[in-house]
Amino acid sequence: MPFNPELCRNESEVESKLIVQYLLPQLGYTPDTWHQEVAVGSIRLDFLAFAAQVLPFVIDANSPLSVVMEAKHPKQNLNNHFLRLRHYLTSLNVKYGLLTNGKEIRIYEKLADDIRLVFLCSGKEVETKIEEIKSFIGRDTLKDKEPLDKTEPLVVPDSYKGEIKEKHSMKIIAVYHNKGGVGKTTTVVNLAAAIRKKGKRVLVIDLDSQANTTFATGLVKFDDEISDNIKDNYVYHILRSVELDTITEVARKSVFTNPEIDIIPSHINLMKMERELNELRSSHTRLINKLKEVQDKYDIVIIDTPPSLNLFAFIALITSDYLIIPSDLKPFANQGLINVKEYIKYEVNQFRSSLNKPPLTILGVLACKIATFPKFVQHTLPKQIAAISQRYDLPVLDTVIYQREELAKCLEQVQQIGDLEVPDPRSVFEYKPHGDSAKEFELLAIEVLQKTGI
């Protein structure tokens, strides 16, 4: 049957109408030679197609796996999914990958540890281009002969090229949800570590009076309030004064990850300072102004926020360029998304407008603390993720952070100092560098860097 891209209104219809009903049959793949929604470790693939089927199939470097097909929502820019497809092909040793949103179809070929674009067409052209598509990923082509060796680089029409981005400046990202216990601190510290390991200069700001990020980055080395070395120099001091207490003066080096990261700590006393700072209206924009002074020193600033609609959440959201909303996708967290959307729309963005700042860009809801049960991952999780965009009209990040023991244990490390046993938390990259959680946070870092243009 012919394919009409105008009939694809969402990702599910791209999968069913373009891939299942049109492409797979046209390319010679029978129902026993392809599989949908397959989990491979931390990787979740939309479709796997085999040139030569072997049952039961084993996914490794010697497997007969030949084509990965990924479907996206028609409104999604495929440029945003290139890095993830590259990770899939290089990690699974797959020769070809197809990426489509219905309106556009791309084929990439794996070359060592990278991939290159070898074919593209619009969804409207697919019927006239099907023989050319077969020459790359048709089942008979892959089964009977070596893939075509195209040495000439593909000329990409201007209509397919993404906008040329200006040289990046410092980007500020808030990690916020007004529901607690959704993995906010874990996201902040491990995302910061992952981005730092990509060679970017990172500053983390803890704006939550619970100071969980301050603890998680290993800055609390004292056993009682008498030896507390944070209370006289933390984020409150940045907010209270115009000229004193600059970012550089308050920031501390943290070795919870290597290379080290600069941290602006928080303190339990921040809670009782809220009334004072609320009355001091100029404190609301003080962080904006002080970050401008160090915009050449950092590539990314990540702000941890309280799980509430208080002043400190407000300051974080008017200061930031982007927002990540971590969520365990459970009912209370989902209900909280309505509060987050309304807070941003009616308070945060209106105040930003008065400062001539554009509306806050929501990078997406980040699925966090997700169970790893195979049936849940393959069947329930995709429905939960789809519900976020369908019910709450919010974007969802591609990366999923699963609930793993290593994520909890890395923050529970301690060290002995004299007679004291003090916290010595580590990022997941130091605790278990080759574990699944480290791979997931590396993917998140890649996705965030790509979407923020760094």
Does residue 395 lie in a domain region?
Answer: yes
Q: Are 279 and 147 part of one and the same domain?
A: no
Q: Does one domain contain both 302 and 345?
A: yes
Domain that holds residue 140: 5-160
Whether 273 is covered by a domain: the verdict is: yes
Residue 442: pLDDT band with limits 50, 70, 90: very high
pLDDT of 188 higher than 50: yes
CATH number at residue 207: 3.40.50.300
- pLDDT (0 to 100) of residue 65: 60
What integer pLDDT is reported at residue 160 of this predicted model?
43
Name the domain count of the chain. Answer: 2
| Residue 446 and residue 307 in one domain | yes
150 and 205 housed in the same domain:
no
Same domain, 98 and 205: no
Alpha-carbon distance 365 to 325, whole Å?
Answer: 5
Pair (145, 178) in one structural domain: no
The answer for residues whose C-beta is within 8 angstroms of residue 285's C-beta and 6 or more apart is: 318, 355
Is 165 a domain residue?
no
Residues 144 and 202 in one domain: no
Query: Which of 160, 182, 212 is the last residue before a domain boundary?
Result: 160
**CATH code assigned at 86:** 3.90.1570.30
Are 377 and 262 part of one and the same domain? yes
Comparing CA positions, the residue from 178, 198, 81, 186 lying closest to residue 402 is 186
**Residues 82 and 227 grouped into a single domain:** no
Q: Is the pLDDT of residue 57 over 80?
A: no
Point out the domain boundary residue: 160, 190, 213. 160
Q: When comparing pLDDT for 58 and 330, which is higher?
A: 330
Strand bridging mode 322-327 / 361-370: parallel
Is residue 198 situated within a structural domain?
Answer: yes
- Provide the β-strand partners of residue 203: 262, 301
Q: How far is CA 267 from the centre of its chain?
A: 28
Note whether 119 and 133 are within 8 A (CB): yes
CA pair distance 184, 325, nearest whole angstrom? 8
Domain end point (choices 125, 160, 195): 160
138 and 63 inside one domain:
yes
Does 166 reside within a domain? no
3-class SS string, 291-303? HHCCCCCCCEEEE
pLDDT of 346-393, one tens digit each? 999 999 999 989 999 999 999 999 998 888 988 899 899 988 988 999
pLDDT score at 164: 32
Mean pLDDT throughout 310-321?
Answer: 95
User: Does 260 lie in the same domain as 366?
Assistant: yes
Q: Do 267 and 130 lie in a common domain?
A: no
